[in-house]
Structures are given as C-alpha cells and as structure tokens.
Amino acid sequence: MLVIRPITQEDYPALHQCAVESGHGFTSLPVNEEQLRNRIDHSIDSFQKDVTEPGVEGYLMVGQDSVTGEVTGTTGIEAAVGLDSPFYNYHISKVVHFSRKLDVHNVVKVLTFGSNYTGSTEICTLFLRPEYREGLNGRLMSKARFLMMAEHPHRFSDTIFAEMRGVSDKEGESPFWKWLQKHFFSIDFTEADYLTGIGYKGFIADLMPKLPIYVSLLSKEAQAVIGKVHDNTKPALKLLENEGFRCRGYVDIFDAGPTVECDLRSIESVRNSFKAKVIITEHSSSQQYLIANTSFENFRATATTAAYDKATDTVHLTPDAAEALQVDVDDYVRLLAQ
C-alpha cells in the first residue's frame, strides 16, 4: 500500500535520489544537498505552523510503500508563490498592427514578462519513480494534494496552478531557451534551470528582456515548443485537465512549458470529495477510493478499497488501511471515489 505523508529529515537520501532520477528541467528538485535539506526543513516548519491564510509555507510530501518502507516519489504544494522571491513567467497575448490607409491588418503574438501568479498556490514537485508508475499510485500522488486542500482550504489561495515541464532534448537542452540564450544570456539551459532551482533568480530579472517579445521573431524551433509539454509530463497534464485545469496563456520563461490553473472550489477532486466516520472492520467491497485523514501536521493519504454507507455516513476500513491513515474508530476521513 502506498501512503502519502509529510517529508522528514530521514527522507533526504530518497529525496536526493528522486532529484537525480527526475532529470533536467525539474527545477523544484535540484541535485544540491543544501537546497534539498533546506526544503525539507522548510516543509517541516510549514506543517507545524498554525496559519489563517496562505503565506510562504511549502508543504513537501513523499509516497512510501507501507510494506517495504521505500520512498517511491514526492509531491508538494507552495501555499503562495512570489512572496519571498519573484515568480516569473511569460504571458502569451496578441497585438494588432493596422493601417487603414494601407489596408494592412496583422495580428501577432507577443510574450510579456511578468509575475502574474504572485500570491497563488502552486502544486509542484510531483515525481513518481518509474518502477511505481502503476495502478492508482500516480493519481494518489497528485490528488492527495486536492484532498488536503478540500479539508484545509484556509491554507491555500483561491487560484491553484501548476507549471508543466516543457520540451527539452535528451541532453536537457530547450529549443526555446536556445533562442533566449543566443540573444540575451551566456549560460546554457541546464545551468539556468539549476540556478533557479537553488534560489539564484536575480540573473533572470537582470538579463531577461523587459519589453514584449514578438513570437514571430523567434526561431522556428523555439516557436514550435511554446505551450508544449515534455513527453514524460503528458500523463500529469491530462490528469490536471480532467480536474478542470486550463492554460490561460502563461508559459515558463525557460522552456515555455504551459502553466495550467483552476479555482480551488472548481477542482473536481475538491468538489467530489466527502467526509465519513470510520468503522474499522474487514469488508468485501471492491470500490476503490483515495482516502485522507483530517489531520494536517500528521497528514496521511492512501488508495484502498472501502465500504461507504451513505445512510449512516460511515465508511468501513480494514485494520491495515486504518493504520496507514493513522485513524481510529469514530474519526473522520475524506474520500474520493475512483
């Protein structure tokens, strides 16, 4: 059974392994011990904080095999981005060049540099190790965050967004960044991506062009990947689209991968999840659920079968499931049918 729980310092070796396996373009997991340990510390502090509104908290969780104890991946939430350091993006829009006298009417796309998601909640750092990409594991890693948001909405913004990994080749090079590098920077994509991951973002504001960039002036290769996702990211994008997330024209400044967003109350898993009182017993139900306890500091979520009784608003959990969720009889859990 896969169980989602808050990260601890003992998980550092596994987090480092996830950072190595995630590869280029996975900015939120830099292969840097200081940054990874700082992120663990920040997450531990965030889970312990008593907050009334979203702030600089960052919640990092891991998936753990309840039998072997092996950490299988990571998933995270940044409560409100851009409050302690800028969060940059490009917005794709259109401008019209029109001359009535010459009867010329051209509509062109432009990229405008900005920090439009400041204060919004970001879901991030979703990585499941390849050998565990089966069954409901991927859904659990992603949707456990929405169960948390449904139970503790005051900790998160009204707008939830995710940056999707953009197109890069096997060497980690981005066609979009190659064009920017040629004209504005002198460092390659992997170095820029790494510097951002470890918090050195000042160079972006210093060197990034401040005026809108006409898309038609970019190389054909760069134009072709704007708003496109890496092949490995397509399943994650599809899952979020099924939740109601949509791209509103914002893309990443490094690889031009799309940013998708949704109002917290409109996320399908938030809308369709419900609470029930726990009864611990063996049962014969084959109905699969994603289930989370109602604790925050000791948050747990898993995927398992359960028997829900609508008439009594109770749910029958096996002893193993109850132990994984750290709940007892008459406690409440939040469920999402699969």
Active site residues: 230
Rounded Cα distance, 258 and 226, in Å: 8
Q: Per the structure block, which two tokens stand in for 142?
A: 């992603």
Termini Cα distance of the chain: 16
The set of residues, in sequence order, having a beta carbon less than 8 Å from that of 40 and lying 6+ positions away, is 7, 8, 9, 11, 12, 15, 60
Structure tokens at 185: 């920077």
Handedness of CA 75, 79, 85, 91 (dihedral sign): positive
Rounded Cα distance between 123 and 7, Å, is 16
Query: Cβ contacts of residue 266 below 8 Å, gap of 6+?
Result: 244
From residue 121, alpha-carbon distances to 53, 145, 161, 230, 262 in Å are: 11, 11, 6, 23, 10
Give Cβ neighbours of residue 300 (< 8 Å, ≥ 6 apart): 3, 4, 5, 292, 293, 324, 325, 326
Query: Of how many residues is the chain composed?
Result: 338
CA distances from 214 to 111, 200, 205, 243 (A): 6, 27, 19, 32
The SS3 of residue 251 is strand
Smallest Cα–Cα separation from 191: which of 35, 14, 31? Answer: 31
